[in-house]
Structure 1
Amino acid sequence: MHDFPVEPTADILSFYTVYMCHHIKPTSVASYLSGIQNELEPVYPNIRSICRSALVRKTLLGCKRLLKSEPTRRIPLELPHLEALVQSLGQSPSYDHLLFLAQITSGFYGLNRLGELVWPDNRKLQSYANVSMRHSVDLIIDQYSYHLPGHKSDRSFEGNRIVIQAVNATHNPVLLFKKYLQARDSLFPGRPELWLKADGSIPQRRWFIDLLHHFLPDGISGHSLRAGGALALALAGVPPDRIQDAGRWT
């Protein structure tokens, strides 16, 4: 169709890369090139070196930069969202709703990743090495803290202490946490885990996300807790380096 020679060269594969990147996602073109290598290697033994040539690699890299898809940005959780949640669930008799309120406010004010509050849905990825324990809780009048055993930026594997202070609002995280802790200790006095559902299991990601989507607008995700908490600190005038330390960003 394009009157190109049949024998593959770096120029031919470079043209092919540009052509395909305008019809499919550039990230998929690398798989196509891999398939070409497997199919043509018996006939053209040097096809792998051609595909790995600087021209082909840089062409693909340039196409990825020029034609990349726009990222899907999630809405940060905001204070009105927390207020609305407390109005909806604050008087609920459900223990799990109380757990959800305590976790979402802890995640917001403690700049927690969702994976630091709940277990993955995949059982193979669930580990007690990442579970906060009840005995690590330090509770005083206007603040509470608990030990975060590990997270992905914890290079020393020492964990961090999450400290959350009271705020003058209906979604005061200290009051919600105390209320949850009282209910949790009444139901599970002998269990070591800090976060427990009414059935005695550790909350999982799907459970949390389902409640999040049920009570909050579309676009709110698990990352919205951490992003919203950081945004709230920035709007309050907290210096960026303090926010970085609080969020355990390296």
Structure 2
Amino acid sequence: MESDVVCRHDGDPRPAPKPSGAFFAGDPRPMKKKTCKPRAGCEISPSPFCPHVPAVDRLHVWMTPHSADFDQHLRLELLPLTADKTQELAFAALEPNTRTNYGAGLLQFHQFCDEQGIPESSRMPASALLLAGWVNHAPWVGDNDFVSLVKTSASKLTPASSQREKRAPVTLQHLIPLARALDPSSGRDCAVLAVALIAFWGCCHLGELVVPSKASFDPRRHVSRSASVQYIDHWDGLQSAHFDIPFGKVEKEAGARISLTGRHELCPIRALHCHLSVNSLTPRVAPMFAFEMGTGWAPLTKAAFLQRCEEVWRPLQLSRISGHSFRIGGATELLLAGVPPETVTAQGRWKSLAFLLYWRKLEDLLPMMISKSYDEKRVLDLCVEFEQ
């Protein structure tokens, strides 16, 4: 994975401000900040069109002679301020992860063109032959028949060993030893257990609870400590908890509500109580699952969360998991417990039953759900009718 950190010339360790402009619209203004040298494997031939910037900024900054011409044409049609705003709006439509992934593909494309001696004037718009030659290096959505044929052939020739293995879901066999191993007096471990149980039973996207990196916390996208948690006592003695997140994976800026139901074992609400109590001194402007340290506090990042889980699970030789494994595992466990699919859909905030594509343990789920749905009395009535 490429680094998204740009060194600032003033010595500040924080990421440098993002440049203006847009790759797809071009921006003739020169870069004013100094950047680090690209790390090994990320080099391209020196070019004024493609300065070294993080992957997340390449679509925004990199351009070609074609995009520079487009930029000039845009400024003939519109006032400069309007043209800049148009470019910014187009760029803002892409999520940071999407921009990073596309930026990585863009780097590979330019590296391929450098190897083949393709001039920059021929790289955009790219010809069908150029795309067909590059298609083994990176995916491309092309509508040319020749490109499609080459892609189909390349995919058939891809060895099975190079395909990513489908990650297993998190199960109760993962969560029980995790809850036993984590230290309830450790601020970090309390935050890890709270996130694990909330992501599992709430069928949440892990990115809705933790932050990508220490410097990437954004209160417009990540839930903060100031979020209000509403607790409701129910007639059966259990409790439910509800809190809002500012940005949902599906809901986007509309935000979403996380709803949790208490349990006797592996209870997400008790874990949330414990986290908020042990880490009570973290400021309200911190991420919700930040934890206290001897020198202050730190946000719980996705990488740190998964690493702590792996420290517990690796010696037990439990299956490797990814961040999405919690959402998949929670949905599977609720279905195994007999919770109706429609209820699981609401819990995970899916818009339809399309989440059933994520089912694991079909050999257990299908017989159980079919047997619960099947009316044996109907068969008995037909047998009696036949005998009569």
Paired residues of 2:259 and 2:347 also in contact (CA < 8 A): no
- Which residue number corresponds to residue 205 of structure 2? 113
Amino acid at match of 2:259: V
Amino acid at match of 1:111: C
Structure 2 unaligned segments of length 5 or more: list them. Answer: 1-107, 133-143, 234-238, 352-388
Counterpart among 266, 282, 293 of residue 188 in structure 1: 282
- Which residue number corresponds to residue 11 of structure 1? none
1:103-156 deviations in Å (ceiling 9; x for gaps)? 110111111112111111273x4322122233421123411111111123115x
Paired residues of 1:37 and 1:51 also in contact (CA < 8 A): no
Paired residues of 2:219 and 2:246 also in contact (CA < 8 A): no
Structure 1 pair 245–30 and aligned structure 2 pair: CA distance change class (3 A): farther
Counterpart among 154, 165, 172 of residue 79 in structure 1: 172
Amino acid at match of 1:98: C
Tell me how far apart the structure 2 counterparts of residues 165 and 62 of structure 1 sit (CA, whole Å). Answer: 47
Please give the secondary structure, in 1, of the residue aligned with 2:257: strand
Structure 1 pair 32–75 and aligned structure 2 pair: CA distance change class (3 A): same
Q: How much does 1:97 deviate? A: 0.9
Tell me how far apart the structure 2 counterparts of residues 110 and 203 of structure 1 sit (CA, whole Å). Answer: 18
- Which residue number corresponds to residue 217 of structure 2? 126
Query: How many percent of aligned residue pairs carry the same amino acid?
Result: 24
TM-score, length basis structure 1: 0.72
Tell me how far apart the structure 2 counterparts of residues 162 and 180 of structure 1 sit (CA, whole Å). Answer: 17
- Which residue number corresponds to residue 348 of structure 2? 247
Q: How much does 1:162 deviate? A: 0.6
* 2:118 matches 1:38: yes
* 2:66 matches 1:66: no
1:24-76 deviations in Å (ceiling 9; x for gaps)? xxxx899858965817x99xxxx935456945312222124423443321121
Structure 1 pair 182–126 and aligned structure 2 pair: CA distance change class (3 A): closer
Structure 1 pair 189–59 and aligned structure 2 pair: CA distance change class (3 A): closer
Tell me how far apart the structure 1 counterparts of residues 286 and 131 of structure 2 sit (CA, whole Å). Answer: 53
Please give the secondary structure, in 2, of the residue aligned with 1:131: coil
Amino acid at match of 1:67: L
- Which residue number corresponds to residue 9 of structure 1? none
Paired residues of 2:260 and 2:268 also in contact (CA < 8 A): yes
* 2:274 matches 1:179: yes
Paired residues of 2:289 and 2:299 also in contact (CA < 8 A): yes
Tell me how far apart the structure 2 counterparts of residues 188 and 146 of structure 1 sit (CA, whole Å). Answer: 18
Please give the secondary structure, in 1, of the residue aligned with 2:193: helix
- Which residue number corresponds to residue 330 of structure 2? 229
Count of aligned pairs between the two proteins: 213
Higher relative contact order (CA 8 A, sep 6+): 1
Counterpart among 127, 130, 149 of residue 48 in structure 1: 127
TM-score, length basis structure 2: 0.48
Paired residues of 2:178 and 2:309 also in contact (CA < 8 A): no
Please give the secondary structure, in 2, of the residue aligned with 1:120: coil
Q: How much does 1:213 deviate? A: 1.1
Paired residues of 1:115 and 1:205 also in contact (CA < 8 A): yes
Identify the structure with the greater helix proportion. Answer: 1
Quote the RMSD (CA, aligned, Å).
3.1
Structure 1 unaligned segments of length 5 or more: list them. Answer: 1-27
